[in-house]
Structure formats: C-alpha cells, structure tokens
Amino acid sequence: MQQKSISGRDLSKTVTSEDLLGKEVIDLNGTFIGVVEKVLMDPNKLEFVGISIDKGFLKKGLTIGKSYISKVTPHAVFLRIKVSYNIKGKTVFDNEGHVIGKVYSIELHGNKNKIINIIVRRGLSDSLFGTEIVIPAEYIKDIGENVMLNVSKNKLKKSKSVVEV
C-alpha cells in the first residue's frame, strides 16, 4: 500500500532507516567494513549526518559521516574512501623492503579519515628501535595489503620526525 505525503514531495524513492539497518558497508576498494547499526540524524536540522557501523564481535564500532558515503543500494552502503582504521595489523615495510613492524594504532585528524601518524609495534629483539615507533603520514608511500614507506629503515632511525615510544 502506498503512503500519502502531506509534504507535497514524492517519497516513493526515499530510503528508510529500516532499509539501512543491517546493510553491509563496503569501502572504495570493495573491502567489507561492517554492517549499519544506527542511522545518525541532526536533531536540530532534521538532516541525515551519517551511520554507525558494527564491525563485529569484540571490535570497536565506527562512525561514518555522510560526506564519506558514495551511494546506498538495496544490498549495501558504498563508501567513497578507504577506511584508515583498516590498516591496523598490516605489516610496514621501508622503501628497501625491510620489515619495520606492524601497525598497532593510528592517529587521525580529529573526526576525519586523514592519518597524522601511525604507531608501529616492533619485536622486542629489534635493536634499531624500541618496541613502538610513531611514523608521520608523510613517510607513507602506499597503503594496500601492506604499508609501504618512502624512506629507508636507517633514515627512519635518524629522522627527528620519528618518535620512539
């Protein structure tokens, strides 16, 4: 049964919160991020502002603003970004192919998806660095299956931008 609108607008092509809840969220690379848990609205402007994502059991949820959403289909919500938090656990290599460690944590610009620093955890036996180092975003060349840096391990050691924790 079709509902009548008193707003004068055609509402037949709108999406409801029921349509979004439980939908898969897919990033720019086609990676599954999680499922829509909540629809977020600005109570003053009565506007859609984003979604809250459930990433699964024992994983911290994530909030995505509407500017990062590319489209909503009957099957999924597609993002226009790669989610920065997904690099946690990836192996970090220098520009010569040496393993630096694994991404332990990420520091972002406020509520943006832009990386400031990555915190890389090292093995306890590595004498070049302590157990954790903070690497600024400008040293990141590429993020894919792994994180590739644009500097060598030795340059990292000498850099004043890299902080040992």
Q: Would the pLDDT of 148 be above 90? A: yes
| Confidence (pLDDT) at 1 | 46
Q: Are residues 103 and 143 in the same domain?
A: yes
Q: What is the pLDDT of residues 65-74, one digit of tens each?
A: 999 999 998 8
- Identify the top-confidence range among 25-34, 49-58, 59-68, 156-165: 25-34
Average pLDDT for 146-157: 88
Q: What is the mean pLDDT of residues 32-61?
A: 88
Mean pLDDT of the chain: 84
At residue 43, does pLDDT exceed 60?
A: yes
79 has pLDDT over 90: yes
Is the pLDDT higher at 154 or at 141? 141
Can you tell me the distance from the alpha carbon of 1 to that of 127, in angstroms, rounded to the nearest whole number? Answer: 70
Q: What is the CATH number of the domain that holds 73?
A: 2.30.30.240
pLDDT for position 78: 95
pLDDT number for residue 41: 93
Domain end point (choices 27, 58, 82): 82
Same structural domain, 96 and 155: yes
Overall number of domains in the chain: 2
52 and 100 assigned to the same domain: no
> Listing from the earlier edge strand, what are the strands of the sheet with 115-121?
140-143, 147-149, 91-93, 99-108, 115-121, 132-136, 163-164
pLDDT per position as a tens digit, 126-139: 555 557 888 999 99
Alpha helices in the chain (DSSP H): 17-20, 153-158
Write down the pTM of the prediction. 0.70
From CA 17, how far away is CA 162, in angstroms rounded?
Answer: 45
Q: Is the pLDDT of residue 7 over 70?
A: no
- Residue 131 and residue 72 share a domain: no
Q: Say whether pLDDT at 40 is over 90.
A: yes
Structure tokens at 72: 């909503």
- Statement to judge: residues 132 and 67 lie in one domain: no
* Residue 72 CA to its chain's centroid (Å): 18
Same domain, 96 and 115: yes
